Copies of this chain bind each other. A is one copy, B any other.
């Protein structure tokens, strides 16, 4: 499978590393908006030349930001390439799906949209759990892990030099959820922990601004720790993450059945990239079947993610 990558941030780097170690995948180019000459790397190519690769790439990974890059660029790119993206702006996914579906169908292309783990595997598990256990409560727990949005919000505060925000689920709620099954609010089930680098004199003001920030921190229990630049660099530049989707269903005679899906990730971008690569195999199957348009984890037969034949899958997995 001939692969291209658009964008070269953390996710793009993980994609590259994983593609290069997979003998079934061939990385053609990485397309970037940065000046070519800034890289001493023959895999790099200017995004301006993307169309020249129209017939040389089977699947293009869009490792771009969800805020503006994907909604702006993907509807153009899908006219000429099959794509996989991890678009995660939940509120706008339905419109994004419609748009990509429409353009992809018109151009005989396939777009696998909004994959990764949330949206992605967590969505899949919420759907399956609720389809099986029709009566019950589903809760999603995120973390322990870095929330990019919350870290950005802290970094926008005046005087903050560096900052990271960890979302931490409350273990005691998870442990007892089968007994205490209900729909929890997110602020009831998570704490927030910020590590901040700043001047000593700004600490009180910054702590105050963080814990009182509406929407981001206000109803949550939030702890703010001030640390040195050295400690920050040493302890807080990795990107672990994870979480749980838990559904507790009520069946007959007061029986409860717990369905729990858990991820514990050393590297959020490595795992998201791994999910995107599995999705690219599904893209090829959709193309083979001329099933053009947009697809998601919700409508994709699981067998599509694997290179083995259906016969082998039944033998190995069922």
Query: Residues of A at under 8 Å CB distance from B?
Result: 14, 17-18, 22, 90, 93-94, 97, 114, 119, 121, 123-124, 126-128, 130-134, 178, 242, 249, 251-267, 270-271, 273-275, 277-278, 281, 296-303, 305-306, 310-311, 313-315, 317-318
Contacts and interface: CB of A to CB of B under 8 A. Distances in A.
Contacts of A242: 258
18 contacts: A90-B318, A93-B318, A114-B318, A119-B318, A128-B278, A131-B305, A132-B305, A178-B264, A251-B273, A252-B270, A255-B270, A256-B266, A260-B263, A260-B264, A262-B262, A298-B301, A300-B302, A302-B302
A249 B272 CA distance: 13
Contacts of A315: 94
B252 A18 contact: yes
Given A128-B302, A310-B299, A251 B264 contact: no
A252 B315 CA distance: 30
Contacts of A127: 302-303, 305-306, 313, 317
A303 B314 contact: no
B301 A318 contact: no
A177 to B, nearest CB: 10
Contact of A299 (B121, B123, B303): B303
A140 B266 CA distance: 22
Contact of A14 (B130, B249, B252, B262): B252
A32 to B, nearest CB: 20
Nearest to A311: B94
